[in-house]
Amino acid sequence: MSSDSTDSDALAVRHHFFLRRLHSLLGLVPLGVFVVMHLSVNASVGFGGDEFQKNVDRIHDLGPMLVPVEIVGIFLPLLFHALLGVKIWLSSRPNLSRYKYGGNYRYVLQRVSGVIAFLFIAFHLWQMHWLGNPFGGGVFDAHDAARTAAVAIQDSMWAVPIWVFYVIGVVCTVYHLANGIWTSLITWGITIGEKSQRVSGYVCTALGVFLMVAGLSAVYNFNRFDGQRAGVSAEQSHPAVVVERDSGGMG
């Protein structure tokens, strides 16, 4: 084998190693941090629409900095993480049919949940985010947060209630994150021994349960939210915005 070929192979290995580590890191920070924050904010609707509105307002206090933060801190890392994740899955050779070990099940579930989570996030962005406006989405209004989020989740698509998609999406997203944290701790050499992996498994499971409860409680509370009462509250706190909507402005 020539020296050039050896150097090329070594470069490919280092390149692959770097991309895999970057893929893992972005899944934790910023994406994992964002998921925790996002589900926690959404869960606050359980304390009432006003409390949820306060949390949404705190986020939008970033003003013109919000869009760059979303692009750099969420959208670009998400796109990279998703595309490389799909490539890793397509290039892998799962052997679950031959070896039905727990690790093999987790490996397959991690890939499947990742794809479903990405599709759900894309749907969520289309439905709620202003990016979906040109395509018939973007129904969420930050000035009338609880009511517009509730209207979106109480809707239906293809005769299927929207909240069903959200339940599936939350479950897959939370599993992908919790299991991803556990495997990342092993990948980064933090939990090497069997005992440390067992302890981190308990911690990641507890985190997953917490996020699952937060996410599903948000879906439940939005689905049972009284939009008419919320509309009165929104008119009191943001009268100019509601008047614009009533006169045909964009919601």
Query: Which tens digit of pLDDT belongs to each residue from 169-192?
Result: 999 999 999 999 999 999 999 999
Given this model, what pLDDT does residue 133 score? 95
Q: Select the more confidently predicted residue: 193 or 101.
A: 193
Distances (CA, A) of 227 to 52, 53, 147, 220: 14, 14, 5, 14
The pLDDT assigned to 242 comes to 39
The domain that holds 150 is classified in CATH as 1.20.1300.10
> Considering the domain boundaries, does residue 195 fall inside one?
yes
| Residue 76, domain member (yes or no) | yes
Q: Is 172 exposed, middle or buried (0-12, 13-18, 19+ CB in 10 A)?
A: buried
Which tokens hold the place of 179?
């299991």
Please provide the average confidence, as pLDDT, over all residues in the chain: 87
**What pLDDT does 102 receive?**
73
The one-letter code for the residue type at 242 is V
Q: Is 95 within the bounds of a domain?
A: no
pLDDT one-digit tens code per residue, 233-250: 544 544 444 333 333 333
**In whole angstroms, what is the distance from residue 64 CA to residue 48 CA?**
28
Backbone dihedral angles phi then psi of residue 62, each to the nearest 5 degrees: -65, -20
Residue 224 lies in a domain: yes
Whether residue 138 is contained in a domain is answered as yes
Confidence of residue 49 (pLDDT cuts 50, 70, 90): very high
Q: What region does 99 belong to: left with phi over 0, alpha with psi -120 to 50, or beta?
A: beta
Residue pLDDT, tens place only, 144-167: 999 999 999 999 999 999 999 999
Whole-angstrom distance, CA of residue 146 vs CA of residue 221: 10
pLDDT at 122: 97
User: How many domains does the chain divide into?
Assistant: 1
Q: Is residue 92 in some structural domain?
A: no
Provide the residue range defining the domain that includes 152. 3-87+100-246
> Does the N-terminal peptide bond of residue 30 adopt cis geometry, omega within 30 degrees of 0?
yes
3-state SS, residue 99: coil
Q: Is residue 153 part of a domain?
A: yes
Lowest mean pLDDT: which of 57-66, 76-85, 101-110?
Answer: 101-110
pLDDT value for 4: 55
Q: Is 2 helix (H, G, I), strand (E, B) or coil?
A: coil
CB neighbour burial string for 105-130, b if at least 16 within 10 angstroms, e if fewer: eebeebbebbebbbebbebbbbbbee
Where is pLDDT greater, at 38 or 100?
38
19 found inside a domain:
yes
